[in-house]
Amino acid sequence: MALTRISPLLATLGLSAALLSAPAVATDVLLDFSGNICGTGSDQACGNGSAIGQGYGDIAGLLDVSHRSFQAGTGATLEGALKYWSTGYSGLQDVAWGGSNPDSHVAEFVFAPGAGFRVTLNSMDFGDYLNRNDGSSATVLDLLTGETLWSSGAFDAGLTPLTFAPGVSSANGLVLRFGPDSYNTAIDNISLTVTAVPEPGAWALLAAGLGLIGALRRRREMV
């Protein structure tokens, strides 16, 4: 009889333990802007100044990546896509840049995770074209709320690339912007991780299991 009463609890405990021990599904993504990533199909060879395809970095069901350059202060889109360059930005190889003016153009990436996932921006590199030292800054925003999650402050890469590691994440998606000189400042090696978010029902089951443990413990203490 006692065994019959405890069996549902044991089953719940087993499921709860499985939820706690199961590894999160994670996919690492690195945008290093190498290979055939240009053209409308994101599958053509790039030359200096070629538009990077909007499909570059996309993973069906997991992550949608888009990019553009816009006029600082107005938000008016200048080009539908950022552009490729091979060398000359603080020693980086294969970079993305945008705009046509060194004073007021901002580059933007949007990283939108699929339903049930969250995206983390781990790190990225910045370089200056021919050591122009015109100055820029970078920010990361929550895609839905617009909240600033991270800011680099003003920087000049100079002869050596600068690496930043924001380490911020959101299930809403992230917006990465840099400028106002995204013409002479370029980005490379954007490291992202897409992680599965547990379903609410899974957490509810875990809470139920923990509640049953507590109830059984209290009942034993009363006996």
Residue 180 and residue 76 share a domain: yes
Residue 78 and residue 122 share a domain: yes
Residue 157 and residue 50 share a domain: yes
Predicted TM-score (pTM) of the model is 0.81
Residue 212 and residue 170 share a domain: no
- 141-159 exposure pattern, b = at least 16 Cβ within 10 A, e = fewer: bbbeeeeebbebeebbbee
Q: pLDDT tens for residues 28-42? A: 999 999 999 999 999
* Phi-psi label, residue 217: left if phi above 0, alpha if psi -120 to 50, beta otherwise: alpha
Distances (CA, A) of 155 to 69, 92, 209: 19, 16, 51
Structural domain boundaries, residue 6: 2-20+201-222
Residue 161 and residue 106 share a domain: yes
Residue 211 and residue 106 share a domain: no
- Number of domains comprising the chain: 2
Indicate the pLDDT class of residue 210, thresholds 50, 70 and 90: low
Domain of 103, CATH number, reads 2.60.120
Task: Return d(Cα 202, Cα 54) in angstroms, integer.
Answer: 35
User: Please, are residues 61 and 110 in contact by the beta-carbon 8 Å criterion?
Assistant: no
pLDDT at 198: 83
Q: pLDDT tens for residues 146-172? A: 999 999 999 999 899 999 999 999 999
Task: Return d(Cα 219, Cα 221) in angstroms, integer.
Answer: 5
CA 108 to chain CA centroid, Å, is 13
Residue 125 and residue 208 share a domain: no
Distances (CA, A) of 206 to 7, 14, 131, 215: 16, 10, 55, 14
Residue 167 and residue 207 share a domain: no
Residue 102 and residue 29 share a domain: yes
CA 119 to chain CA centroid, Å, is 4
Residue 192 and residue 138 share a domain: yes
Token code pair at residue 185: 């400042």
Residue 125 and residue 189 share a domain: yes
Does the pLDDT at position 22 exceed 50?
no
User: Please, are residues 171 and 120 in contact by the beta-carbon 8 Å criterion?
Assistant: no
pLDDT at 73: 87
Residue 190 and residue 125 share a domain: yes
pLDDT at 102: 83
